Structure 1
Amino acid sequence: MMSFLRRKAPMVSLLALCAACATEPLPPKPAPPLPFPMGVPSAFATENPSWVTPTAPFKIADNIYYVGTEGLAVYLISTLDGLILLDGGMPGYEQLIVDSIESLGFDIDDVRVLLNSHAHFDHSGGLAMLQAASGAELIASEGDRSALENGFYLGDEDDPNLAAPPIKVSRTIADGQSIDLGGTRMTAHITPGHTRGCTSWTMTVRLQRMPTDVLFFCSATVAGNSLVPPQYDGIVDDYRETFDKTRNWKPDIFLSNHPQFFGMTEKRARLAAGDEAAFIDRETFPAMMTRLEAAFESRLAEEQSVGDQD
């Protein structure tokens, strides 16, 4: 368990692919639809060009690699039995991720597991095509399952601008459960609010010969969500649960699905200059959560005030 987490959660192994592969051959994969056609820029891509702007992939620490774009993070975790891919970026831009994976010397065919931080199109939109290319299974939370499988944005189900290609969830994971693949263990922590099933992930790597706790945080921004009326039932309580749950978290390495949240540009430059521990940072996450909690409470008060006037 991560040392920075102040509670103990059950470790339930959902994958034992190493043993399975030793006894049963993997089923044949469909021919991958590569190269992927590039998408027609959506309004969101036009407004946020960094989301679809390529950036050179790189190794963050140990077996964790960055394979996302300038503005949307996607992570590749290498193991002895294949690859884990966390998040899928924007729909229509899957080839950028594939190119990054291959430029690091890996192969999309070797991705065994797809994970998702949360079911919003900018992080789940590429998963369906990446699954078609790799044959990987998708493991996600029950809270986000309906949005992933139906391709909608929870609370705005009929808005096509917020839709994502549907993808079947192979199996669900609960808070505190883990996946194990090729000597790597990743543990799920349900941190709801931003979406109903927003899932943060933790793992331990070795850096400078020391065990190092890594947090891939989902999100706790309000962003486009409505609090009053609620985007989904229980959203206010969910946000508060997440702020309470994470209050004492101080990971050694904090990563998130938008690089600006953890200062990737500056840390990456230090890494390139030879600082192997550039991503060690135990202060940014708690400071960010303090700001986000204050912003949430301010937004809630504002929306309640407007609601009282109606």
Structure 2
Amino acid sequence: MSTNAPYPVFKNPVDYLIQGCERPWEVAVDPFEVAPRTWFVGNAWVGAYLLETSEGLILIDSTMQPQVYLVFENIRKLGLDPKDIKLLLLTHMHYDHVGGARSIAEASGAKIMLSKQDHEFMLAHPEQIFDEGYPFGSFEVSDFYQDDKPITLGDRTIHTILTPGHTPGTTSFFFDVVTKDGQTKHCGLHGGVGLNTLGDDFLTEHGFSTATRSDYLASMRKLHNFQIDITLGSHPAQVDMLSKVARIGPDCNPFDDPSVWQGLIEQRIGQIETLIAESKLEPAC
């Protein structure tokens, strides 16, 4: 399916999950390069990113279990082998990002990494995975992220930063690439900017503290001044990725735009500040 296909727009995020699990072919997207040796291999709803290293492949996020075949097919379209995935890095513990983790690990032997905070939250609150009854296999986490310990595989290094809010252990990823003309570009992927878990109704229904909003705001402010050249969306629509694919060329990377990161972070800071100001719940002490 063409990357420029007219995908439906739903008001309820659950409808995207239903579509993605029951009719995954409707959200199929051909892989495309976002940075040197770095590709989008996800779908129209949720992102997944493949990094080639000198010692194998790193995959960031798994998409949902019924969509794993799309991820594998995209990797094969690049002339690479899914069995060469050595590390599977998960941004946070929601189903659309971790639902295919077990299948990918079993097929490739990849080690899975997740934040300790989200691993504990997932075990304590499995209902917060939001799998909506679709296939989900539990998985073993080989290691946890540490902000002061970069992840290295072969000649590629990824720095992680805990950015709680969307979930307690949402983690963001940062790495550099070198272009064919020798320029160093900084890539950034915020692990989860969604506000759907921070509204009054959600917090009240699940008995969670409004402190999660303060965590979100603090983490966004921490990343505000980061100089990011290439922004990767945990969901491509967050930074309008799919509309830019047609502009990819030998001398044009449409994703190389420092204003995108600043715009995304500033937008979300404004939105969470408004949500806090308009909240009818008592703020956490």
Give the superposition deviation at 1:266: 3.0
> Are 1:91 and 2:62 an aligned pair?
no
Match of 2:31 in 1: 57
Match of 1:214 in 2: 187
TM-score by length of 1: 0.76
Counterpart among 267, 289, 293 of residue 265 in structure 2: 289
What is the distance in 1 between the residues matched to 2:26 and 2:142? 27
| Contact 1:188–1:201 (8 Å) recurs in 2 | yes
What are the ranges of 5 or more consecutive residues in structure 2 without an aligned counterpart?
1-13
Higher gyration radius (CA): 1
Counterpart among 190, 196, 201 of residue 162 in structure 2: 190
Give the superposition deviation at 1:277: 2.9
What is the distance in 1 between the residues matched to 2:236 and 2:270? 21
Match of 1:234 in 2: 211
Give the SS at the match of 2:252: coil
Give the SS at the match of 1:144: helix
Within 5 A, what are the aligned runs for 1:4-153?
Answer: 43-46=15-18, 53-148=27-122, 152-153=126-127
Provide the aligned length of Structure 1 versus Structure 2: 262
TM-score by length of 2: 0.83
Match of 1:13 in 2: none
Q: CA RMSD in A?
A: 2.6
Runs of 4 or more above 6 Å deviation: 48-51
Counterpart among 157, 161, 179 of residue 132 in structure 2: 161
What is the distance in 1 between the residues matched to 2:49 and 2:119? 21
Counterpart among 175, 182, 194 of residue 203 in structure 1: 175
What is the distance in 2 between the residues matched to 1:43 and 1:263? 20
Give the superposition deviation at 1:66: 1.1
| Contact 1:66–1:75 (8 Å) recurs in 2 | yes
Equivalent position amino acid for 2:101 in 1? L
Match of 1:267 in 2: 244
CA change 1:45–1:236 in 2 (3 A) is: closer
CA change 1:51–1:127 in 2 (3 A) is: farther
Give the SS at the match of 1:186: strand
What is the distance in 1 between the residues matched to 2:154 and 2:84? 12
| Contact 1:148–1:167 (8 Å) recurs in 2 | no
Equivalent position amino acid for 2:71 in 1? I
| Contact 1:225–1:231 (8 Å) recurs in 2 | no
Equivalent position amino acid for 1:69 in 2? N
Give the SS at the match of 1:239: helix
Equivalent position amino acid for 2:97 in 1? H
Equivalent position amino acid for 1:264 in 2? M
Match of 1:38 in 2: none
What is the distance in 2 between the residues matched to 1:170 and 1:127? 12
Equivalent position amino acid for 1:260 in 2? A
Give the SS at the match of 1:169: coil
Match of 1:10 in 2: none
Give the superposition deviation at 1:293: 1.4
What is the distance in 2 between the residues matched to 1:280 and 1:43? 31
What is the distance in 2 between the residues matched to 1:197 and 1:89? 18
What is the distance in 2 between the residues matched to 1:160 and 1:82? 30
More displaced 10-residue stretch of structure 1: 105-114 or 289-298: 289-298
Give the superposition deviation at 1:120: 0.6
CA change 1:146–1:135 in 2 (3 A) is: same
Equivalent position amino acid for 2:53 in 1? T
What is the distance in 2 between the residues matched to 1:90 and 1:52? 14
| Contact 1:84–1:115 (8 Å) recurs in 2 | yes
Equivalent position amino acid for 2:274 in 1? S
Counterpart among 261, 275, 281 of residue 299 in structure 1: 275
Give the superposition deviation at 1:43: 4.8
What are the ranges of 5 or more consecutive residues in structure 1 without an aligned counterpart?
1-41
What is the distance in 2 between the residues matched to 1:197 and 1:52? 31
Q: Give the percent of matched residue pairs that are identical in Structure 1 and Structure 2.
A: 26
Give the superposition deviation at 1:162: 7.2
